């Protein structure tokens, strides 16, 4: 049940527990317990909303920043990662294999705010060797959801 | 001028669904919720569509061999072996057809002599009866019962067999009832089939949509593979209805004759679709499982909704239909469906569209989003409540 439950709430965290129980064919209390257990063990990390900010009056700029760093003795990348992810404007941070080490997803109000972050906060960090900032021009798909596209039912009537 | 038409064709009644859908399509109201269509609401998985696109880009636009591409036939055999543990020879025991529906037609035409009877358990998909007539056979309905969860029993089968009976059509998981036949049910009828020496056309197009346990095909039972044409296709499992691709597997002597009809009437199944189908069989298992989970959730939702409103419905374990009983309202299925459409703007199909014994039932398809189903169930609850109050 756990896997199916997660699949449903990953796409619809607002679904009510009673309905969830019906869809999964279990008792409501089992759903409540399972979700509580997963919240406790950190499997469920939060219930967020996917927002297409382009449709609002709030202007945001997002960027992906590739960072090359020197890992530190005894701590690997974890220490420098923590330094970086503690900034509230950092949306996501990943350790990456390949040509660079860390990938930052950053949200800012303006271009300037992002460039300030890079030049004043990120680049001066001792272990940061280099950065490359990519501004996001358009989001087509986020969290498995195609933004800005409404699907309509185009099936025609057929004898079946 | 002489009458240009064949009596046999003119005499075929138009499908009951058609009449009803014509009405629905006339309703321009945006608020109409249809639960009428029996086709998946998912798009074909992208990796499958992509194979179709690649095949076009590479210029694979010619015919394939009549019975279908060798690689596809081999993948079909692998799939059946994986699912049912039964082996077919790709060279002469498989025919790739234009949808499962062509396979039904061709099988009947290959097997029937004039006047031979075909047993058709009803309620069922609408084309078995007319295809039998067009093939020169005589359709004989077996009326299945709600108390048996619309499964075919050995007794019902035995009672219907005459010395003219040639073929039994077996369509489980079933459209429109959602009924399934489990192994024990199949064993009971297989005994009669072998004893009476008749053949089976087993339409298993909904085989992947089986929610209690994995689908069991009658070909797995001793003595049945050699007297069964097993039909399946890509429409329901992989959500590929528009690609029009199905297949039939069976003993070489029957498949050879079916291939003859197919090659003269159709030449070969669409090439693009065959390329896509290879990808579906090779890498599509996860997609099937994912869609099945979603259907199953909707199925549970509908059954729960019926229970809440006190509407009688047996639990169907297959396909994507539920078949609730509306006998308590003292209306025919037609009247109920019509009134429901008029007052609540929800389209469901009257059970009688699938045979006389569908009277008193409705077919509700859950190949629709949960939001649509919810909207429809709210309206059904309101409608049912009103009818019950009027009855008092």
Within a domain: B390: no
Within a domain: B2: no
Q: Smallest CA–CA separation between B346 and chain A, in Å?
A: 14
Q: What share of chain B is helix, strand, coil (3-state, %, to 5)?
A: 50, 15, 40
Q: Enumerate residues 101 to 130 of chain B having a beta carbon within 8 A of any beta carbon in chain A.
A: 125-126
Q: Smallest CA–CA separation between A148 and chain B, in Å?
A: 18
Of B222, B250, B284, the position where a domain reaches its end is B284
Res. B297 pLDDT band, cuts 50 70 90: very high
CA-closest candidate to residue B217, choices B149, B171, B282, B278: B171
- Answer yes or no: is pLDDT of A149 > 80: no
| Interchain pair A155, B17: CB under 8 A | no
Sheet containing A61-69, strands listed edge to edge, beginning at the edge strand earlier in sequence: A90-95, A102-108, A61-69, A128-135
Cβ-Cβ contacts under 8 Å, B39 against chain A = 155, 158, 160
Same domain, residue pair B26 and B57: no
Same domain, residue pair B39 and B50: no
Q: Does B24 touch chain A (CB under 8 A)?
A: yes
Tell me phi and psi for residue B278, to 5 degrees. -60, -45
Same domain, residue pair B195 and B324: no
What are the residue ranges of helices labelled H in chain A?
2-11, 17-24, 28-40, 78-85, 111-116
Within a domain: B391: no
Condensed to tens digits (0 to 9), the pLDDT of residues B265-279 reads: 999 999 999 999 999
pLDDT at A155: 82
Integer angstrom CA distances of residue B50 from B74, B240, B277, B347, B386: 21, 13, 11, 34, 50
Within a domain: B125: yes
Whether A65 contacts A131, CB under 8 Å: yes
Cβ-Cβ contacts under 8 Å, B38 against chain A = 158, 160
Q: Can you tell me whether residue A76 is helix, strand or coil?
A: strand
Same domain, residue pair B216 and B74: yes
Q: Does A155 touch chain B (CB under 8 A)?
A: yes
Q: Can you tell me whether residue B227 is helix, strand or coil?
A: helix
Same domain, residue pair B241 and B304: no
Condensed to tens digits (0 to 9), the pLDDT of residues A132-145 reads: 999 999 999 998 88
| Interchain pair A159, B36: CB under 8 A | no
pLDDT at A131: 96
Tell me phi and psi for residue B275, to 5 degrees. -60, -45
Taking residues B274-294, what's their average pLDDT?
Answer: 97
CA-closest candidate to residue B96, choices B66, B68, B70, B133: B68
Q: Residue A72 has what DSSP assignment?
A: B
Within a domain: B373: yes
| Interchain pair A159, B300: CB under 8 A | no
Res. B16 pLDDT band, cuts 50 70 90: low
Same domain, residue pair B338 and B207: no
Burial B266-277 (b: 16+ CB within 10 A, else e): eebbbbbbbbbb
Cβ-Cβ contacts under 8 Å, B41 against chain A = 153, 155
| Interchain pair A160, B39: CB under 8 A | yes
Cβ-Cβ contacts under 8 Å, A154 against chain B = none
Nearest chain B Cα to A19, which residue?
Answer: B301
Q: Choose, out of A9, A16, A155, the residue to mutate when testing the contact with B (most B CBs < 10 Å).
A: A155
- ipTM tops 0.90: no
What are the residue ranges of helices labelled H in chain B?
7-10, 16-26, 46-57, 70-84, 99-111, 128-134, 154-160, 183-195, 252-265, 271-283, 285-308, 333-344, 370-391
Res. B320 pLDDT band, cuts 50 70 90: very high
pLDDT at B322: 97
Closest in B15, B24, B293 to A159, CB measured:
B15
Same domain, residue pair B32 and B114: no
Listed by start position, the domains of chain A span 2-40, 55-138
Q: Can you tell me whether residue B7 is helix, strand or coil?
A: helix
Nearest chain A Cα to B369, which residue?
Answer: A153
Q: Residue B226 has what DSSP assignment?
A: G
Same domain, residue pair B25 and B84: no
| Interchain pair B300, A160: CB under 8 A | no
Same domain, residue pair B152 and B261: yes
Range of the domain at B326: 7-43+286-385
Same domain, residue pair B299 and B333: yes
Within a domain: B96: yes
Q: Does A22 touch chain B (CB under 8 A)?
A: yes
pTM of the model: 0.91
Within a domain: B11: yes
A55-138 folds as Alpha-Beta Plaits (3.30.70)
Condensed to tens digits (0 to 9), the pLDDT of residues B43-82 reads: 999 999 999 999 999 999 999 999 999 999 999 999 999 9
Strands A102-108 and A61-69 turn out to be antiparallel
Q: How many domains does chain B have?
A: 2
Domain CATH number, residue B34: 3.90.1150.10
Q: Which of A12-18's residues contact partners 24+ apart within 8 Å by CB, and which partners?
A: A13/A47, A13/A48, A13/A49
Condensed to tens digits (0 to 9), the pLDDT of residues B174-202 reads: 999 999 999 999 999 999 999 999 999 99
Of B268, B284, B300, the position where a domain reaches its end is B284
Within a domain: B260: yes
Taking residues B76-101, what's their average pLDDT?
Answer: 98
- Answer yes or no: is pLDDT of B21 > 90: no
Cβ-Cβ contacts under 8 Å, A160 against chain B = 17, 37-39, 125-126, 175
Strands A102-108 and A90-95 turn out to be antiparallel
């Amino acid at each position: 049940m756990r896997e199916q439950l997660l699949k449903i709430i990953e796409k619809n965290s607002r679904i009510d527990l009673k309905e969830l129980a019906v869809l999964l064919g279990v008792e409501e209390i089992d759903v409540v317990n399972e979700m509580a257990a997963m919240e406790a063990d950190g499997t469920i990390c939060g219930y967020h909303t996917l927002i297409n900010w382009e449709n609002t009056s709030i202007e945001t700029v997002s960027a992906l920043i590739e960072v090359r760093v020197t890992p530190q003795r005894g701590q690997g990348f974890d220490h420098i990662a923590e330094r970086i992810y503690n900034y509230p404007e950092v949306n996501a941070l990943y350790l990456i294999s390949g040509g660079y080490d860390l990938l930052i997803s950053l949200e800012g109000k303006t271009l300037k705010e992002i460039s300030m972050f890079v030049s004043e906060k990120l680049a001066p960090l001792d272990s940061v060797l280099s950065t490359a900032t990519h501004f996001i021009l358009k989001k087509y798909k986020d969290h498995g959801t195609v933004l800005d596209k409404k699907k309509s039912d185009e099936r025609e009537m057929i004898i079946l | 001028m002489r009458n240009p038409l064949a009596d046999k064709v003119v005499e075929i009644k138009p499908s009951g669904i058609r009449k009803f859908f014509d009405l629905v399509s006339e309703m321009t109201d945006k608020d109409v919720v249809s639960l009428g269509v029996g086709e998946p609401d998912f798009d074909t998985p992208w990796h499958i569509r992509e194979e179709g696109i690649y095949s076009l880009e590479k210029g694979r636009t010619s015919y394939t061999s009549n019975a279908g591409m060798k690689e596809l036939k081999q993948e079909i055999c692998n799939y059946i072996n994986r699912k049912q543990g039964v082996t077919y020879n790709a060279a002469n025991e498989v025919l790739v057809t234009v949808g499962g529906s062509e396979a039904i037609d061709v099988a009947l035409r290959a097997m029937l002599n004039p006047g031979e009877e075909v047993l058709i358990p009803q309620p069922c998909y609408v084309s078995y009866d007319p295809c039998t007539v067009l093939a020169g056979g005589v359709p004989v309905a077996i009326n299945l019962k709600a108390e048996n969860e619309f499964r075919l029993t050995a007794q019902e089968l035995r009672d219907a067999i005459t010395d003219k009976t040639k073929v039994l059509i077996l369509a489980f998981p079933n459209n429109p009832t959602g009924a399934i036949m489990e192994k024990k049910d199949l064993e009971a009828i297989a005994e009669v089939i072998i004893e009476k020496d008749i053949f089976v056309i087993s339409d298993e197009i909904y085989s992947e949509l089986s929610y209690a346990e994995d689908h069991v095909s009658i070909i797995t039972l001793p003595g049945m593979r050699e007297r069964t044409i097993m039909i399946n296709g890509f429409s329901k499992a992989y959500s590929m209805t528009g690609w029009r691709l199905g297949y039939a597997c069976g003993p070489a002597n029957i498949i050879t004759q079916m291939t003859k009809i197919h090659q003269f009437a159709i030449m070969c199944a669409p090439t693009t679709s065959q390329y896509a189908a290879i990808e579906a069989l090779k890498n599509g298992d996860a997609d099937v499982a994912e869609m099945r989970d979603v259907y199953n959730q909707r199925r549970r939702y509908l059954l729960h909704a019926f229970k809440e409103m006190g509407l009688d419905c047996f639990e169907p374990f297959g396909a994507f239909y539920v078949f609730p009983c509306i006998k308590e309202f003292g209306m025919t299925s037609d009247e109920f469906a019509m009134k429901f459409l008029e007052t609540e703007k929800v389209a469901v199909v009257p059970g009688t569209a699938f045979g006389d014994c569908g009277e008193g039932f409705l077919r509700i398809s859950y190949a629709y989003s949960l939001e649509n189903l919810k909207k429809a169930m709210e309206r059904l609850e309101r409608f049912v409540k009103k009818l019950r109050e009027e009855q008092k």
